[in-house]
Structure 1
Amino acid sequence: MATVAGGQGSRDVPVDRSEGFGERLLGLLLDRAHEMPPQLIAPLVAEEVNRIGGRDITILLQDYEQRVLTPLPGRGLAIGEPEPIDDSPAGTAFLGATTVEQSRADGVRMYLPLLDGSDQVGVLALTLTTVDDDDRRLLRRLAGLVADMLVTKSNYTDQFFRARRRAPMSVAAEIQWSLLPPLTMLTPQVAVAGILEPAYDIAGDSFDYALNDDILHVSVIDAMGHNLDAAVLATVAIGAYRHARRADVGLAELYMFMDAAINRQFGPDHFVTAQMMRLDVGTGHLQWVNAGHPPALLIRDHQVIQTLAGPGTLPVGFGGDIPQISEQRLRRGDRVLFFTDGLVEEHESGGEQFGEERLIGIVERARGEDVREMVRGVSHALMRERRGITSDDATLFLVEWRGGTTDHLATVDL
């Protein structure tokens, strides 16, 4: 049982935050959420947080460039300035996927990560007069439910997408963002994270992945051309990839299906460079087809120990090539970094290309970070070293193999 301070001349009012109360509160929230229109999510969250004595409630969502957390507008929510991800309590909660508590004169400011599965949606911030373990447990569960609601309701509204935007977005970028899976997936056996730049003007670059039983499937693509032409080509490529992947074919058949689909639709003058990968998350057995991309980097103990070179395959769409499949056995903790040529071929007018060696140097300096932090940190470091120059799309996609099993997650001990 905790207390919330009343107004001037009033006494503290007891607030029940026990587990039984919390279950009833979360159940009520879940019951209402099923039919709740998107614009009422914010007022509903504010109402429920107020019930436990919370105030100054803010929902912060990650912007597309992954630089700041932007406030979601809504009745009952406090709207302030965006919070920098790199240097704020909200950013610490977001990057670390952990609750941050900040003592203030009027109580404790709490920042709770909004996690939809393992994908970080944003941060829920609120102030309580006092905080105990009942509060922490209840608010952690509430934040998880809020994250699920935001992701589910985003399919019915543009409100959350608008809140995340810090600049005008091109039509091509709009198409590409709509194609993407969640930017991060973390499981006990494997973790992945990806990032695209420039966020508001991407066109031909994209990636996709799926974890089907013990096999992680990944594709990173770069469609030729610019603007809408590249976005349309990338859309067909990703659609063909998903169609073949869901038919449960091997890497060779998957490449040939994509190749035939693009060739039939666009002819031999249009193509897509790509890397397609299959990783057995139980054994660490990695297979890939490289169809025109720079070779991926194998990272072990924070060092790039080799490039995953191998026999090349023609870009997707030229028609009729037999794909060359390469293989590698990973060790637990190994990371594989896929990237497109826009990352290393960028250069100032008359200057040298950024190059793979500088990329490797930045990767090796990114120590002690999870996959999401590393991808984000490397992308932003590259942008700084290029002094913001971006004349081509660029993609980073990182895979970490952890091994082990997940069977324990399917058992419930009460």
Structure 2
Amino acid sequence: MSPAMGEEIVDRSEGFGERLLGLLLDRARLMPPQLIAPLIAEEVARVGGSDVSILLQDYAQELLVPLSGRKLHVDRPEPIADSPAGRAFLHAEVVEVAQARGVRMYLPLLDGSDQVGVMALTLDAVTDDDRRLLRRLAGLVADMLVTKNSYTDQFFLARRREPMSVSAEIQWSLLPPLSMSVPQIEVAGMLEPAYRVAGDSFDYALNDNVLHVAVIDAMGHGLDAASMATIAIGAYRHARRVYVSLAETYAFMDDAICRQFGPDHFVTAQLMHVNITTGELELVNAGHPAPLLIRDGRVVQQLESATTLPVGCGGEEPRIAEHLLQQGDRVLCYTDGIIEEHVAGGEPFGEERLIRCVNRLGEEQSEAVRADLRRLSHTLKGERGGHTSDDATLFMIEWHGGAADHLTVLD
């Protein structure tokens, strides 16, 4: 159908989209952080979009908070649990909502596979050309936000919903992306309480076919715990990057904590290697609760291992536990703040209640690892009375296996 006389024709073809994205990429390299928002709004306007919002996840993972900026549409925060923006964020999919004057689109902002937030905009109508172009634009916007975030506080301040302790500032600066997804394996992690966490942390890296994971809990509270966690994670990364074994990594971390803090301080830790091709898992447990193996939505066993002394206590060389995962298996690591929180009656929450919560949620429809872990975290917090008096960490791995070589082949 030909456009009516006087009606503006908006070019959303792939050729136009390539030129538009190229222009954005050329300008983004030198763009100051405060001008990112106006540039994005200008680019969206070129494809006929309006009311552009950039929504970033808050640190407690409860809300998507609008980023303020010239030419951006700023409305109230959107709940992650029950909103179109939250659905786009949790499921990493485009969500379209028909409105009286067009279609409101919510596009996940993905940096790799880590969800940064959501870009929302309104179009008069939506075609497949629009969807293709806007998905690519959202990917470029996510990369820009992550890149600029390394030298501005603008995005941090938008995400922060309450005052944050100095120890929590340190811990958040240590963390890798909260989630990662490749065809063979997915991971996701959460820290509580988001604005006061001190000694808990986690780290991971995917090197060739091996996923390296560490979950730690430094003794104490406040800056002392945050300082120990910083040294422990730094020592872990150093050992990991010189390709030593898990046993040698434990020894290196142990020596670093002992030398820096003396014999009266320690850090509990879990160290893992997961072969993403075969599902072989190696585990060192230095004072942590045993991880849970979840299969078909239910806990089937605790991944037991010979527990060695916490890092910093001068323990003997640890024995490596070996397990073999099946496709679709999940491994849930957690720190003692999850199970030692006292509930009504003064008793600890305990492992049995944790397992019951995991199994109950497993009976519902399974979603992506990050969405399911967030749901589990908030469910557990509710079961514990809505508060966390000690640091509490959850870290989940889901293994799929297979290969990703097909991604290197261009159509």
TM-score, normalising length: structure 2: 0.97
- Alignment partner, residue 158 of structure 1: 153
Please state whether the residue corresponding to 1:66 is helix, strand or coil. Answer: coil
Distance 1:168-1:2 versus aligned 2 partners, 3 A rule: farther
- Alignment partner, residue 383 of structure 2: 385
> How far apart are residue 350 of structure 1 and its match?
5.2
Asked if 1:257 is matched to 2:252, the reply is: yes
Please state whether the residue corresponding to 1:113 is helix, strand or coil. Answer: strand
Which of 273, 277, 286 matches 2:268? 273
> How far apart are residue 311 of structure 1 and its match?
1.0
Deviations 1:25-70 (A, max 9, x none): 0000000000001110000000000111110110000000111100
Percent identity, aligned pairs only, is 69
Distance 1:268 1:205 in 2: 20
> How far apart are residue 348 of structure 1 and its match?
3.7
Instruction: Please list every run of at least 4 consecutive aligned residues from structure 1 whose deviation after the TM superposition is greater than 3 angstroms.
Output: none
Distance 2:7 2:380 in 1: 53
- Alignment partner, residue 293 of structure 2: 298
Asked if 1:92 is matched to 2:90, the reply is: no
> How far apart are residue 156 of structure 1 and its match?
1.3
- Alignment partner, residue 375 of structure 1: 373
Instruction: Work out whether residues 283 and 305 of structure 2, in 8 Å CA contact, stay in contact via their aligned partners in 1.
Output: no
Please state whether the residue corresponding to 1:366 is helix, strand or coil. Answer: helix
Matches within 5 A, 1:163-312: 163-312=158-307
- Alignment partner, residue 393 of structure 2: 395
- Alignment partner, residue 334 of structure 2: 339
Asked if 1:358 is matched to 2:353, the reply is: yes
Distance 2:2 2:156 in 1: 37
Asked if 1:83 is matched to 2:78, the reply is: yes
Query: What residue identity is the alignment partner of 1:347?
Result: H
Instruction: Work out whether residues 2 and 130 of structure 1, in 8 Å CA contact, stay in contact via their aligned partners in 2.
Output: no
Which of 105, 108, 124 matches 1:110? 105
Distance 1:282 1:2 in 2: 53
Query: What residue identity is the alignment partner of 1:405?
Result: A
Distance 1:395 1:228 in 2: 18
Query: What residue identity is the alignment partner of 2:121?
Result: L
Matches within 5 A, 1:120-159: 120-159=115-154
Instruction: Work out whether residues 217 and 268 of structure 2, in 8 Å CA contact, stay in contact via their aligned partners in 1.
Output: yes
Please state whether the residue corresponding to 2:150 is helix, strand or coil. Answer: helix
Distance 1:54 1:225 in 2: 51
Which of 12, 28, 37 matches 1:33? 28
> How far apart are residue 365 of structure 1 and its match?
2.3
Query: What residue identity is the alignment partner of 1:198?
Result: P
Ranges in structure 2 where 5+ consecutive residues have no aligned partner: none
Instruction: Work out whether residues 309 and 315 of structure 2, in 8 Å CA contact, stay in contact via their aligned partners in 1.
Output: no
- Give aligned pairs, total: 408
> How far apart are residue 291 of structure 1 and its match?
0.2
> How far apart are residue 320 of structure 1 and its match?
4.4
Instruction: Work out whether residues 2 and 17 of structure 1, in 8 Å CA contact, stay in contact via their aligned partners in 2.
Output: no
TM-score, normalising length: structure 1: 0.97
Asked if 1:67 is matched to 2:38, the reply is: no
Distance 2:2 2:333 in 1: 50
Please state whether the residue corresponding to 2:9 is helix, strand or coil. Answer: strand
> How far apart are residue 204 of structure 1 and its match?
0.1
Which of 318, 323, 330 matches 1:328? 323
Distance 1:410 1:268 in 2: 50
Instruction: Work out whether residues 260 and 320 of structure 1, in 8 Å CA contact, stay in contact via their aligned partners in 2.
Output: no
Question: RMSD between aligned alpha carbons?
Answer: 1.4
Instruction: Work out whether residues 337 and 398 of structure 1, in 8 Å CA contact, stay in contact via their aligned partners in 2.
Output: yes
Which of 312, 331, 337 matches 1:317? 312
